[in-house]
Amino acid sequence: MDSHQLDIVALAWSRELGLPDDALRVAGSRTIRPATDTVRFLRFAGASALVGPPWFLDRAAALDDDALASRSTLGDLTRDHGGRCTGPRLLAYASEVGDINVASPLISHVLPHVLALQALCPPDDVAEADLTARRNWFTLLDEDARPLSCAGYSEWQGIIARLGVLTVPEARRRGNGTTVGRLCTNDAMDEGMIPEWRSHPEDLASRGLAARLGYEELGSVTEVALP
């Protein structure tokens, strides 16, 4: 990604975290902001940001970025306050439109095909892709109009497109996810947004698909929900 695209992503996260617009533009810096009901630690392009209650910020003051990005560390720091930690999620971004390697794929853009696809997939995979919370669906159908794979995105902060991809188990490792992922990525970029891909560090299949689509891993976010 070029410097302008990096600045756009940094701006989106700064606004999400309630930071100054330029807070994440200096590599090696850490910006801290008090908050009440959540803890977030973000790493992006060499900069970082930590948001949380004052008691948490005091506990975390001496820890480095590697420690704060760890789920176990944030869990330990917030356990006595009933914290529920999620992540880390790796953040990857695409900067270029790519070619579609399938000639004239049969694509649906309607919700019923998304719901039919989800019914064929494991619940954990459905929750991870979270397609019904997105829009702009691209569902690949077979010759009998049965759904094979779907990608969709939702607009975030007006400038980022957050993608999700889901493929039925028997249709995986056949390039179907790549097809819908490319269509969805290209559409988001055509709409003037920067596509974002989130993966668990141990989810090598998701990370591999993102890499094939040209996504570059540039950071991570770890979050704790507080009562």
Is pLDDT at 212 greater than 90 in this prediction?
yes
Q: How would residue 157 be classed by pLDDT, with cut points 50, 70 and 90?
A: very high
- Which domains does the chain show, CATH number per domain? 3-90 (no CATH), 107-216 (3.40.630.30)
Burial track 57-71 (b if 16+ CB lie within 10 A, e otherwise): beebeebebeebbbe
Q: Which whole number is the average pLDDT over 58-74?
A: 95
pTM for the model:
0.93
- Give the pLDDT score at 85: 92
Q: How would residue 36 be classed by pLDDT, with cut points 50, 70 and 90?
A: confident
- Give the pLDDT score at 164: 97
Q: Which whole number is the average pLDDT over 22-48?
A: 93
Q: How would residue 33 be classed by pLDDT, with cut points 50, 70 and 90?
A: very high
Q: Which whole number is the average pLDDT over 119-136?
A: 95
Average pLDDT of the chain to the nearest whole number: 95
Condensed to tens digits (0 to 9), the pLDDT of residues 67-94 reads 999 999 999 999 999 999 988 999 999 9
Question: Which of 163 and 26 is assigned the larger pLDDT?
Answer: 163
Share of the chain above pLDDT 90, in %: 92
- Give the pLDDT score at 182: 97
- Give the pLDDT score at 100: 86
- Give the pLDDT score at 79: 94
- Give the pLDDT score at 227: 87
For residue 222, the cross-strand partners are 41
C-beta separation of 194 from 92 below 8 A: no
C-beta separation of 10 from 29 below 8 A: no
**CB neighbours (10 Å) of residue 4?**
8
